[in-house]
Amino acid sequence: MEAYLVAIAIVAAIYVLLALGLNLQYGLTGIINFGHVGFFCVGAYTAALLAEKGWPPLLSFSAAAALAMLAAWPMGLISLKLREDYFAIVSLGFSEVVRLVVTSEKWLTSGVQGITGIPKLFGGLATGLPNSLAVLAVLVAVNLLAIAAMRRIVTSPFGRTIEAIRDNEEAVKALGKDPAAFKIQVLMLGAALAGVAGAFYAHYIGYISPDQFIPLVTFQIWMAIIMGGVGRISGALAGTFILMLFLEGSRFLRDIMPFISEVEMASVRLGVVGLALVLFTLYRPTGLMGDFTRK
Amino acid sequence: MIPFIELALNGIVSGLVIGLAALSITLVFGVARFPNAATGDVMSLGAFAALAGASASGTLLIGGVFGIAVAAFVSLACYFLVFQKLSSRPPVASLLASIGVAFVIRAVMGVVFGHQQKVFDLPLARPWRVLDIRFHPTDLKISLAALATLVAVFLILHATPIGRRMRAVADDPSLARVSGISPRRIMVALWLLSGAVAGIAGILVGIKTVVTPEMGWDLLLPAFAAAIFGGIGHPVGAVVAGVILGIVQEVATPFVGFTYKIALSFAVLLAVLLIRPKGLFGTVAGAR
Amino acid sequence: MTLLVENITKAYGGQVVVDHASLRVDTGGMVGLIGPNGAGKSTFFSLVTGFIEGEGGAMTLDDRAIGSLSPQARAQAGMVRTFQVPREYTHLTVRENLMAAAPGQAGDSLLNVFFRPGRVAEEEKALAIRVEEAIAFLRLGAVADTPAGMLSGGQKKLVELGRALMTGAKLILLDEPFAGVNPVLIEELSERIRELNARGIAFLIIEHDLGALSRLVPMLYVMDRGRIIASGAPADVLADPLVREAYLGGTT
């Protein structure tokens, strides 16, 4: 039971990093990023491949964040040029292209077979609970750091300006501030968080393949931040909690109802995420647009 | 040289199908200003419904009609149940809701039809050879069906009063209010038409390749690329862009490999948006 | 700060919206631009502030050509506009709206936010004092901590004016400041504009409604169908038969 709870907590902590990044991008800045899973994927593959080469985790995780940021930089430039709905489509396409690249470049990524045997973090500790607890401790520390950084951003002039960009980008320009640098930095920072999340994910699961990085992951994170209420750090946390309840609940449901096949369960999950997106956009627009009591 | 001609011919066929999907997108995007990400899954649904109809009735024709009808009906149902309520909301709401709808449709297909690849039961036909160039009779039929659909859509848009209203609204949304026909009727016709076109596109893809719940979603990116390339709200543009995209994808396959075919449509989408956001024939700009 | 606009033109699909329009606002001046609905006034504003690109003509700000600058660069040069439909930052409070408008904040850089928190905090303190003054001046104290999206139309116009002040602009372009504002607040707003003008800030004001504007500005331009058809002191301009025709016989 403890092992199970720790396992859930680890996955939840990884999702929180993703949700914090997306909340920064959409909730605070208004950038519709539909390609979040692409940055997650870049981070996961970077960490896995560098671990194979024997890089120490501190370096490989930094590289995962850096490469995800590097991938976000051109996206930032593109976001300046496009209307928001077009950028959403382009960012979705971006994450699909990332998946195509890791599928196709077999020499590097083993294609659809994926990368197996990614070493656990803290390999020195006994496998099982001690090891998982150590991973969880590091993840919690990283999360606290990320949350502290987000709080700092929200209360800073930078945070005020990105919220102004979200509320009315034209007015920001009219008052003499250039949204460009802000949007690029926000996209890169969110991507860095996703990249680190990917690195943790690769090491924890031990196996990555392209079909783990489908757009559904992106929209699960969207579902989380909408349910929690966008623009708030607490919303990202609460939303992730609900998301985990749902994901684990569906797994539990399959355990007690073995006549449902795993493929069918995957369809059910997809359907529930879809339904949640529809219902929340229809009936709880404040979750999507934020309300007037933000902080 | 001959392999390239074969690839180009193949590209025209798949391009016509992409063009149909793009047509479905551009109609709704142009007239209702709605970027409908559920189009791909309506396509898949049309193909599955046609399969079911064909196996129940024994003829592909009846199956096809049934598939088209189901796609059109589901498209209209999506409009009434969800999309209609989002017309005055920011783009993020339409986008997320249409992706949610896409997921729901695909989930239903996954549960009802399963995830195995299915194929249309067609008589095997020997490919023709003209000057050493091979061409499948099935491909010819697909192309003819796609062209017939295009002609039908253009007739509807240009020769019927409701079609003319649709075009007028696409050019200037404020016209919707002053035109004689109620906006509601325009929208009903629009979503039925868009769904039917998507259904036909899905059936044709299914005939050309295989039917899976994911097939439509996988074509969404090329379809959006073609719709934007052609100029949003411009039906001819969508089809021309679809054919160009189809040819480029097929001819480039020997160089870039099979999986990067889809990446090519992303490259085209990006290039168009950054260089000529109005598209080939369009007036609505995606850039700012 | 002198704004000089010469012969700027804009056409949409063959229809000329702004037709070789010229205008001048002198340092510390107060100029009105009137015209019937659809005369091209707002398009003119967008051309001058760089939100849309024109065809030909010249624009200078203190002899510096600004025709090819981005909107933000023109604002940085000291010319700031407001919008006909207020574009307040809906989720930010009135105070935050004003603070967000302050230019050149060290805290707008993430590096400073994280690595020079002291300097950022100092700037914030100084800024808060300036914002408090602006809030007091605009009589927005009662709503200072209210999200701007919840304000009345007139209050939003005040917030927009306040933000323009915070940028330190030398020339403020107001797009229909009195539209949708109740009569009491119109007087209030006029009074504030007068006081600011007395402090040396120049104004260029678009209005559809003549009454309040002609009491406010000593210099008036009249635009009709994209062209400037008259200019001069309000009394003279309003007596001009061309102007009377534009207003009475035109599309109003």
pLDDT digit string (tens) for A195-219? 999 999 999 999 999 999 999 999 9
- Same domain? C103 vs C51: no
Do C170 and C195 sit in the same domain of this protein?
yes
Contact A195, A39 (CB under 8 A): yes
Q: Are A91 and A75 in contact (CB under 8 A)?
A: yes
Domain ranges within chain B, ordered by starting residue: 14-215
pLDDT value of residue B288: 41
CA gap B78, A283 in Å, rounded: 16
Max CA separation in chain C (angstroms): 65
User: Would you tell me which residues 95-134 of chain A have a C-beta closer than 8 angstroms to some C-beta of chain B?
Assistant: 96-97, 100-101, 103-104
- Report, as an integer, the average pLDDT of B109-123: 86
pLDDT reported for residue B287: 41
CB-CB under 8 Å, A292 with C75: no
Interface-testing mutation among A34, A77, A97, A166, with chain B (most B C-beta atoms within 10 A):
A97
Is C127 buried (19+), middle (13-18) or exposed (0-12) by CB count in 10 A? middle
* Per-residue pLDDT reduced to its tens digit, B203-219: 999 999 899 999 999 89
Of B106, B137, B146, the residue nearest B246 (C-alpha): B146
Partners of residue A97 in chain B, C-beta under 8 Å: 262-263, 266
CATH number at residue C192: 3.40.50.300
**CA gap A49, A53 in Å, rounded:** 7
Q: Is pLDDT at B284 greater than 60 in this prediction? A: no
Counting Cα atoms < 13 Å in the Cβ hemisphere of A219 gives 28
DSSP string across C40-71: SHHHHHHHHHTSS--SS-EEEETTEE-TTS-H
| pLDDT at residue A159 is higher than 70 | yes
The answer for C151, left when phi > 0, alpha when psi is -120 to 50, beta otherwise, is beta
Q: Token digits for A42?
A: 């870049």
CB atoms within 10 A of CB A277: 28
Rounded to 5 degrees, what are φ and ψ at C209?
A: -90, 120
Report pLDDT for A295: 43
Largest CA distance in chain B: 58
- Phi and psi, residue B248, nearest 5°: -60, -45
Domain co-membership, C207 together with C237: yes
Q: Identify which of A162-166, B133-137, C7-11 has the greatest average pLDDT.
A: A162-166
Assign C212 a pLDDT band (cuts: 50, 70, 90). Answer: confident
Residue B86, Cβ density class (10 Å: 0-12 exposed, 13-18 middle, ≥19 buried)? buried
The residues pairing with C174 across neighbouring beta strands, listed in sequence order, are C205
CB contacts, 8 Å: C97 with chain A = 164
Q: Are residues C73 and C25 part of one domain?
A: yes
| pLDDT value for B181 | 61
Show the tokens assigned to C98.
Answer: 């004003």
CB contacts, 8 Å: B106 with chain A: 267, 270-271, 274
- Phi and psi (nearest 5°) for C127? -65, -40
CB contacts of A174 in chain C (<8 Å) are 49, 51, 71-72, 75, 80-83, 87
d(CA C77, CA A72): 31
Task: Check pLDDT > 50 for residue B47.
Answer: yes
Closest CA to B71 of B95, B103, B94, B49: B49
Q: Based on the fold, state whether residues C159 and C237 are members of the same structural domain.
A: yes
Cβ contact, residue pair A222, B96, below 8 Å: yes
Strand, helix or coil for residue C120: helix
The type of residue at A216 is L
Q: Which residue has the tokens 């598209």?
A: B279
Last-in-domain residue among C123, C150, C177: C150
A243, A224 Cβ separation under 8 angstroms: yes
Smallest CA–CA distance, residue A161 to chain C, in Å, is 6
State the best of A23, A26, A89 to mutate against chain B, taking most chain B CBs within 10 Å. A89
Specify the range with the lowest mean pLDDT, choosing from A225-234, B94-103, B167-176, C224-233: B167-176
Q: Which of A35, A72, A89 is nearest to B225 (CA)?
A: A89
- The complex scores an ipTM of 0.92
Which residue intervals of A206-232 are DSSP H helices? 215-228
Structure tokens at B162: 């409701």
Three-class DSSP category at A38: helix
Residues of B in contact with A216 (CB under 8 A): 103
Question: pLDDT tens for residues C73-130?
Answer: 999 999 999 999 999 999 999 999 999 999 989 999 999 999 999 999 999 999 999 9
Smallest CA–CA distance, residue B215 to chain A, in Å, is 14
Residue C248 pLDDT level (bands cut at 50, 70, 90): low
Chain A touched by C12 (CB under 8 Å): no
Span A251-257, mean pLDDT? 78
Residue partners of A293: CB distance under 8 A and separation at least 6: none
Point out which residues pair with C58 in neighbouring strands. C6
What's the pLDDT score for residue A229?
86
- Minimal CA separation from A171 to chain B, in Å: 15
Query: B71 or C249, which is more confident?
Result: B71
* Candidates C88, C114, C124; nearest CB to A152: C114
Q: In this structure, what token pair is assigned to residue B175?
A: 């016209």
Dihedral of CA atoms C21, C25, C26, C28 in degrees, nearest 10, equals: 180
Q: What's the whole-number mean pLDDT along residues B76-88? A: 91
Confirm whether pTM is higher than 0.95: no
| A44 CB-near residues (< 8 Å, 6+ apart) | A64, A198, A199, A201, A202, A208, A212, A213
**Which residue in this structure is represented by tokens 């009074």?**
C191
Q: CA-to-CA distance for C20 and C4, rounded, in angstroms?
A: 13
Q: Model confidence at B176, in pLDDT bands (50, 70, 90)?
A: low
Rounded CA separation B29/B37 (Å): 10
Task: Answer whether A192's CB lies under 8 Å from A17's CB.
Answer: no
d(Cα B143, Cα B14) in Å, to the nearest integer? 9
Question: Higher confidence at residue C74 or residue B252?
Answer: C74
Chain B residues with beta carbon closer than 8 angstroms to that of A29 = none
Residue B150, classified by CB atoms within 10 Å of its CB into exposed (0-12), middle (13-18) or buried (19+), is buried
- Closest residue in C to A179 (Cα) is C72
Edge-to-edge strand list for the sheet holding C3-12: C15-25, C3-12, C58-61, C64-65
Q: Distance (Å, rounded) from C-alpha A14 to C-alpha A197?
A: 5
DSSP A268-287: HHHHHHHHHHHHHHHH-HHH
Pairing outcome for strands C202-207 and C30-34: parallel
Query: What pLDDT is recorded for position B31?
Result: 86
Checking if the pLDDT of A76 tops 70, the result is yes
Specify the number of domains making up chain A: 1
Distance CA A287, CA A289 (A): 6
Contacts of A267 (CB under 8 A, 6+ apart): B106, B107, B108, B109, B110, B111, B115, B213
Return the residue of C nearest to A291 by Cα: C91
CA dihedral A250, A255, A261, A265 (to 10 degrees): 0
B134: pLDDT strictly greater than 90: no
From chain A, pick out residues whose CB is under 8 angstroms from the CB of B99: 34, 219, 274, 277
Range of the domain at A166: 2-212
CB B30 within 8 A of CB B232: yes
Distance from CA of A57 to the nearest CA of C (A): 24
Domain count, chain C: 2
Q: Give the pLDDT band of residue B285 (cuts 50, 70, 90).
A: very low
Question: Both C229 and C159 in a single domain?
Answer: yes
In this predicted structure, the answer to whether residue C251 has a pLDDT above a threshold of 80 is: no
Decide if pLDDT at C135 tops 70: yes
Query: Other C-beta atoms within 10 Å of C6: how many?
Result: 15
Same-domain status, C134 and C161: no
What mean pLDDT is predicted for residues B102-123?
A: 89
| Structural domain for C27, as ranges | 3-88+155-249
- For C165, nearest residue in chain A (alpha carbons): A175
Mean of the per-residue pLDDT values of chain A:
91
Percent of chain B with pLDDT over 70: 93
- Of B23, B66, B7, B11, the residue nearest B203 (C-alpha): B66
Q: A75: which chain B residues are within 8 Å (Cβ-Cβ)?
A: none
User: A132: which 2 tokens?
Assistant: 């998982």
Higher pLDDT, residue A46 or A269? A46
3-state class of C80 per DSSP? Answer: strand
Q: What is d(CA B51, CA C207) in angstroms, rounded to the nearest whole number? A: 64
Neighbours of B3 (CB within 10 A): 11
Q: Are residues C115 and C9 in the same domain?
A: no
Partner-chain contact C167 A176, CB within 8 Å: yes
**SS3 state at B117:** coil
Q: Are A104 and A111 in contact (CB under 8 A)?
A: yes
Q: Of the residues C134, C150, C166, which one is the last residue of a structural domain? A: C150
Which DSSP category does B127 fall into?
Answer: P
A74 Cβ neighbours under 8 A, 6+ residues apart: none
Once rounded to an integer, what is the mean pLDDT over residues C216-224? Answer: 92
